[in-house]
A and B are shown apart, each in its own frame.
Chain A
Amino acid sequence: DAGVTQSPTHLIKTRGQHVTLRCSPISGHKSVSWYQQVLGQGPQFIFQYYEKEERGRGNFPDRFSARQFPNYSSELNVNALLLGDSALYLCASSQQGVAETQYFGPGTRLLVL
């Protein structure tokens, strides 16, 4: 079975631009979570979606938004990019979305210039 997939793998943007990152969960998994990992730090929770509804939100500004589609894939949107948004963005999927084991995709590496 395919694991979690994310696209694109790498992205370069300039300050003020908008970016959309995409994630497809493992087949049969209904929960998707998004994390931001800055170099040298552990991943930081951004959002969790389960059955197309937001289940949790981390301490990120409103420039960050996400949604989940009927096929359980998900998008993370970031508006008005700042230099500090440069990071590895990770998507993780789990079956039930309640304290279940989460499996990470390969990530999207975003560089903001």
Chain B
Amino acid sequence: QKEVEQNSGPLSVPEGAIASLNCTYSDRGSQSFFWYRQYSGKSPELIMFIYSNGDKEDGRFTAQLNKASQYVSLLIRDSQPSDSATYLCAVNRRVGNEKLTFGTGTRLTIIP
């Protein structure tokens, strides 16, 4: 079982619709969760982080965390063509060896 799993996609969403990206993790000790956006040939760019169960909103982005189900998601409202990228989910433990463990990413394409 992979530590962090994401559907690799591609996920195609019409412009203006809601894009829903999902991520599951295996380590129940994971404490912090991050979403990064990565354009082709570029480095990951932080979009959001979430530590507590529930929803966290920032502009058009909403992160959702359910620790009981070991599930974290990212919703993108009013999707724009500029949102087309690979979205990486990453998790971190707060103790011991501090590192981000990434999923393989979901490729999102917004169709004009």
Contact = CB atoms under 8 A, between A and B. Distances in A.
Interface residues of B, number: 25
Given A58-B99, A99-B93, A101-B34, A42 B104 contact: yes
Contacts of B90: 42
B102 A48 contact: no
B105 A97 contact: no
Contacts of A40: 104
A106 B43 contact: yes
Interface residues of A, number: 26
A55 interface: yes
Interface in A63-113: 88, 90, 92, 97-99, 101-107
Interface of A: 33, 35, 40-45, 48, 55-58, 88, 90, 92, 97-99, 101-107
Interface of B: 4, 31-32, 34, 36, 42-46, 49, 88, 90, 92-94, 97-105
